[in-house]
Amino acid sequence: QGTRDHSPAQAALRERLLSAVVSCFKRHGAAAIDTPVLELRETLIGQYGEGSKLIYELQDQGGELLALRYDLTVPFARYLAMNKITNMKRYHVAKVYRRDNPAMTRGRYREFYQCDFDIAGQFDPMIPDAECLKIVHEVLSDLQLGDFLIKVNDRRILSGVFAICGVPESKFIPACSTVDKLDKVPWEEVRSEMVGEKGLSPEAADLIGEYVQLHGGLDLIERLLQDPKLSQNKQAKEGLGDMKLLFEYLTLFGITGKISFDLSLARGLDYYTGVIFEAVLLQQENEHVEEPVSVGSVAGGGRYDGLVGMFDPKGRKVPCVGVSIGIERIFSILEQRLSMNGPCLSLQASGEKLRTTETQVLVATPQKHLLAARLKLISELWDAGIKAEMLYKKDPKLLKQLQYCEDTGIPLAAIVGEQELADGVVKLRDVATREEVRV
Amino acid sequence: QGTRDHSPAQAALRERLLSAVVSCFKRHGAAAIDTPVLELRETLIGQYGEGSKLIYELQDQGGELLALRYDLTVPFARYLAMNKITNMKRYHVAKVYRRDNPAMTRGRYREFYQCDFDIAGQFDPMIPDAECLKIVHEVLSDLQLGDFLIKVNDRRILSGVFAICGVPESKFIPACSTVDKLDKVPWEEVRSEMVGEKGLSPEAADLIGEYVQLHGGLDLIERLLQDPKLSQNKQAKEGLGDMKLLFEYLTLFGITGKISFDLSLARGLDYYTGVIFEAVLLQQENEHVEEPVSVGSVAGGGRYDGLVGMFDPKGRKVPCVGVSIGIERIFSILEQRLSMNGPCLSLQASGEKLRTTETQVLVATPQKHLLAARLKLISELWDAGIKAEMLYKKDPKLLKQLQYCEDTGIPLAAIVGEQELADGVVKLRDVATREEVRV
């Protein structure tokens, strides 16, 4: 339940997607690492807040107690601490596991790929953070998914807001997870959850409401820096100062047009300590809708300066910031746009066909008793690095062989018949145009 | 236990290996598929003979009883049956899991990659089988691992040998697994295990010994086809006939020089029904050794015509043949040849360096207060698809920046200083030669 096989057409589409993402990560100088799918249970438990109950555990068959990884961030932090690495830019593309309620049509699975890029190390503020946002912008632009928006906030600003609104510190995290729902439900519902379930005072909730419904750009940052109450809070002031710096860098990158400083963004995970962000695709299909509607998050990330220290025996901290591309949701969106039948995918918009194989030439014969000639020729082609196939029949019909080329998109047929053998040549046929040359 | 992280240097080496293997699979026209790491326990149990006790089981947390896949062959057969596919050439590169005793220096892990290529479908005899052997030959040649030998046998020939030597059919499989040890221990030991543990008569064991110590080529096949007893056994006769055909095709491929028809090859898994094969590397390092010594199996496979039918509700069979490349053992061999320290791998033999990143240019400044200029330039480079990095410092020293290039193998530095900014140019520096041009 919640997992699936990938057919050749799906695997080809996914390979194309992953390769676009990895290209971007390499363009930014990241090295690859890999960690086991299995982690010690104790490494994972307690890192994911409410998510911890979704961890897959292995049966105790003797030896260590194991679990399947829940994300790639905690294994990365464990890797850094274990190897005493204080400085690293890495990417990791791999499957993670969550015993969640699957919603397969919306791209939510129990086994799914994550594509993570992270920068670990003590650097000058906001330079690596800005690069992470640039990467989200590049990936979503490269994949041509349509219009998108990257929401940015900072955990320190949120903490400051909660503090000046009179929320006790013990309720920051529950308040955070309630605020995070603002992208799905209206403020009234969020407010009543705050007051009802989370036990905040109605006054505190109303004050919070005034802040978390704000979104904007540099102008909003400037305004909040002047806010008489918020500017007195140390955490908020630091967060706003860094946010201003971040926007300066994003301006130099030329990407502020798609960035929104959004105080309702909170993110679910416990380990974030600074900047947080999330990218959403904007609905465009229905042009009657006046304002673009979000169709869900396709990338997210943030700064987590405390996580590595939790795995170091001496608690040495390594500041980190990273981004995770939600490739599975992007895959679902693209899959729905494509017709996924048969050995070729057609990209309906462009009329382009995505093949599931890369075969360049089919070695074919028009007569019987020429298997030996085909085997000799195909062997020469393979040894020369040419991608070649033949039918696994002693005496296939020429029509069947050409039909196979058309079905699978093989552009050329190399035909050896009795005449060609006698003349020491091969007839090369362009399958689409039917043109033939002897070589 | 038995798993490991891959550092950037190891990940880069593995990426190079996997990409060579996948190139070969694509050259032969295979499409990719992917299946979940999790399978239903009932799918795996009973497929692997003695291996079944090595299966990792997941804890029962409600829902289905799950296990981690043990190989890629059973999931492939399950996939074919589930989707009623009767015809497919696919490759699959993914991790599998076995609770084995790890021997990490020899490349035996509990989590390891397999690279599988399989051809499913009803075809004329031995054409797909020959292609699998060609693939092993290509991969091992491409990877330049040194001399190798591919041993070939057929389960039907082995069954015939056992039958004519008076072994009851119920003891074929135990006898098989004893014969399989002949590559590690001398015949005397194998014989005493047969008579002792497996309960064969001494006469049967001696007769078997006369056959299973044979190895050769087409000449041996011809001789056994004339063997008065063996040629009377239906299974052996079919196996030998197909073996002859296989050698004809391998001769056309020009690879018989590295193929040995070896009657001691038995292979451990239960599901093989016809041709079986295994590739071993031959020791060359010590030239005093007169005969080359095997350093272990690096690829194996065979025909399994019954497996898909076990997953089909109506038992419909789909004949299959496939090969699995033991990439983890090959990785261990290469890793031992290389010095794996630092951000570059040096291939000691060639002096070549294997980088862990692909960065083409570092954006650098010789003076302070030029962060904005660097951010603008690097953004332009990224947008143009150029792999670029910069140090995450506001004012790094030029020496440190050039040192970073040397450490990580970045060939070029794009330098923007005050003069360059004023002139509207960039100074491009070749890190190795120190040559500079203004562009």
| pLDDT of residue A285 exceeding 80 | no
B365 is in an annotated binding site: no
- C-beta of residue A96 within 8 angstroms of C-beta of residue A35: no
What are φ and ψ of residue B139, in 5° steps?
-60, -50
Contact A29 B357 (CB under 8 A): yes
Contact A1 B63 (CB under 8 A): yes
Selected for mutation to probe chain B from A33, A354, A389 (highest B CB count within 10 Å) is A33
A123 chain-B contacts, CB cut-off 8 A = 392-393
* Nearest residue in chain A measured CA to CA from B82: A5
| More confident site: B180 or B358 | B358
Distance (Å) from the C-alpha of residue A99 to the closest C-alpha of chain B? 9
B271 is in an annotated binding site: yes
Contact B79 A28 (CB under 8 A): no
Selected for mutation to probe chain B from A1, A3, A4, A7 (highest B CB count within 10 Å) is A7
Task: List the single residue in B15, B343, B382 with the smallest CB-CB distance to A134.
Answer: B382
Distance (Å) from the C-alpha of residue A437 to the closest C-alpha of chain B? 23
Pairing of strands B88-97, B31-32: parallel
Query: What number is the average pLDDT over the span A102-124?
Result: 89
Instruction: Collect contacts of B215-218 with beta carbons under 8 A, ≥24 apart.
Output: B215/B151, B215/B260, B215/B261, B215/B262, B215/B263, B215/B264, B216/B260, B216/B261, B217/B247, B217/B256, B217/B259, B217/B260, B217/B261, B218/B244, B218/B247, B218/B251, B218/B256
Helices (H), A28-111: 41-44, 73-82
pLDDT at A417: 96
A118 is in an annotated binding site: yes
| pLDDT of residue A124 exceeding 90 | yes
The predicted model scores a pTM of: 0.92
For residues B88 and A165, what is the distance between their CA atoms, to the nearest angstrom?
64
Pairing of strands B275-282, B148-154: antiparallel
| More confident site: A103 or A195 | A195
For residues B395 and B416, what is the distance between their CA atoms, to the nearest angstrom?
13
* Nearest residue in chain B measured CA to CA from A60: B59
Distance (Å) from the C-alpha of residue A158 to the closest C-alpha of chain B? 26
Q: Rg of chain B over CA atoms, in angstroms?
A: 28
A79 chain-B contacts, CB cut-off 8 A = 5
Selected for mutation to probe chain B from A15, A27, A142 (highest B CB count within 10 Å) is A27
Query: What number is the average pLDDT over the span A237-247?
Result: 98
For residues A42 and A61, what is the distance between their CA atoms, to the nearest angstrom?
17
Contact B392 A124 (CB under 8 A): yes
| pLDDT of residue B290 exceeding 60 | no
Strand partners, B103: B108
pLDDT at B286: 52
Cα four-point dihedral sign B179, B182, B187, B190: negative
Distance (Å) from the C-alpha of residue B363 to the closest C-alpha of chain A? 12
Q: Per-residue pLDDT tens for A353-382?
A: 679 999 999 999 999 999 999 999 999 999
Cα angle B242-B246-B251, degrees, rounded to a multiple of 5: 150
Contact B37 A95 (CB under 8 A): yes
- C-beta of residue B258 within 8 angstroms of C-beta of residue B141: no
SS3 B371: helix
For residues B379 and B372, what is the distance between their CA atoms, to the nearest angstrom?
11
B364 chain-A contacts, CB cut-off 8 A = none
Highest CATH level, class, for B361-438: alpha beta
Distance (Å) from the C-alpha of residue A155 to the closest C-alpha of chain B? 22
Distance (Å) from the C-alpha of residue A125 to the closest C-alpha of chain B? 9
What topology does CATH give the domain A8-341? BirA Bifunctional Protein; domain 2 (3.30.930)
| More confident site: A198 or B426 | B426
| pLDDT of residue A290 exceeding 90 | no
B131 chain-A contacts, CB cut-off 8 A = 392
Q: Which two tokens stand for residue A369?
A: 């008793």
Distance (Å) from the C-alpha of residue A1 to the closest C-alpha of chain B? 8
Query: Closest Cα partner for A359 from A414, A427, A431, A410?
Result: A410
Distance (Å) from the C-alpha of residue B397 to the closest C-alpha of chain A? 14
Distances (CA, A) of A201 to A194, A214, B290: 8, 21, 87
Q: What is the ipTM of this complex?
A: 0.90
What are φ and ψ of residue B426, in 5° steps?
-125, 140
DSSP B311-363: HSTT-----EEEEEE-HHHHHHHHHHHSB--SSEEEETTTTEEEES----EEE
pLDDT at B353: 66
pLDDT at A100: 86
Contact A29 B119 (CB under 8 A): no
In chain B, the percentage of residues whose pLDDT exceeds 70 is: 93
For residues A121 and B435, what is the distance between their CA atoms, to the nearest angstrom?
32
B97 is in an annotated binding site: no
Cα four-point dihedral sign A203, A208, A213, A214: positive
Q: Per-residue pLDDT tens for B236-261?
A: 999 999 999 999 999 999 999 999 99
| pLDDT of residue B106 exceeding 90 | no
Strand partners, A91: A32, A117
- If you ran DSSP here, which 8-state letter would residue A295 be given? E
Selected for mutation to probe chain A from B379, B393, B408 (highest A CB count within 10 Å) is B379
Q: Per-residue pLDDT tens for B317-353?
A: 999 999 999 999 899 888 877 755 444 454 444 445 6
A134 chain-B contacts, CB cut-off 8 A = 379, 382
- C-beta of residue B282 within 8 angstroms of C-beta of residue B149: yes
A28 chain-B contacts, CB cut-off 8 A = 382, 387-389
For residues A415 and B150, what is the distance between their CA atoms, to the nearest angstrom?
31
For residues B30 and B23, what is the distance between their CA atoms, to the nearest angstrom?
10
* Nearest residue in chain B measured CA to CA from A78: B5
pLDDT at A333: 85
pLDDT at B347: 47
Kindly state the helix (H) or strand (E) to which residue A425 belongs, with its residue range. Answer: none
In chain A, the percentage of residues whose pLDDT exceeds 70 is: 93
* Nearest residue in chain B measured CA to CA from A93: B11
B1 chain-A contacts, CB cut-off 8 A = 63-64
A119 chain-B contacts, CB cut-off 8 A = 392
For residues A239 and A157, what is the distance between their CA atoms, to the nearest angstrom?
5
Contact B3 A36 (CB under 8 A): yes
Cα angle B233-B236-B238, degrees, rounded to a multiple of 5: 105
* Nearest residue in chain A measured CA to CA from B79: A5
Sorted by where each begins, the domain ranges of chain A are 8-341, 361-438
pLDDT at B147: 93
Can you say whether residue B184 is alpha, beta or left, with left for phi > 0 and alpha for psi between -120 and 50 degrees?
alpha
Tell me how crowded residue A220 is: count the other CB atoms within 10 A of its CB. 18
Q: Position of tokens 């691992």? A: B145
SS3 A72: coil
A99 is in an annotated binding site: no
Contact A57 B58 (CB under 8 A): yes
pLDDT at B352: 56
For residues B104 and A36, what is the distance between their CA atoms, to the nearest angstrom?
14
Q: Per-residue pLDDT tens for B366-386?
A: 999 999 999 999 999 999 999
Contact A7 B33 (CB under 8 A): yes
pLDDT at A344: 47
* Nearest residue in chain A measured CA to CA from B382: A27
A91 is in an annotated binding site: no
Kindly state the helix (H) or strand (E) to which residue B85 belongs, with its residue range. Answer: none
For residues B56 and B39, what is the distance between their CA atoms, to the nearest angstrom?
11
Q: Rg of chain A over CA atoms, in angstroms?
A: 28
* Nearest residue in chain A measured CA to CA from B355: A31
Q: Which two tokens stand for residue B140?
A: 């091992």
A219 is in an annotated binding site: no
Q: Per-residue pLDDT tens for A154-193?
A: 999 999 999 999 999 988 888 888 898 888 889 999 999 9
pLDDT at A77: 97
For residues A92 and A21, what is the distance between their CA atoms, to the nearest angstrom?
11
Distances (CA, A) of A85 to A81, A313, B354: 6, 14, 21
- C-beta of residue B271 within 8 angstroms of C-beta of residue B75: no
Q: Which two tokens stand for residue B30?
A: 């295979």
Q: Per-residue pLDDT tens for A189-216?
A: 999 999 998 899 999 999 999 999 999 9
pLDDT at A181: 87
B389 chain-A contacts, CB cut-off 8 A = 28-29
pLDDT band at B181 (very low <50, low <70, confident <90, very high): confident
* Nearest residue in chain B measured CA to CA from A253: B379
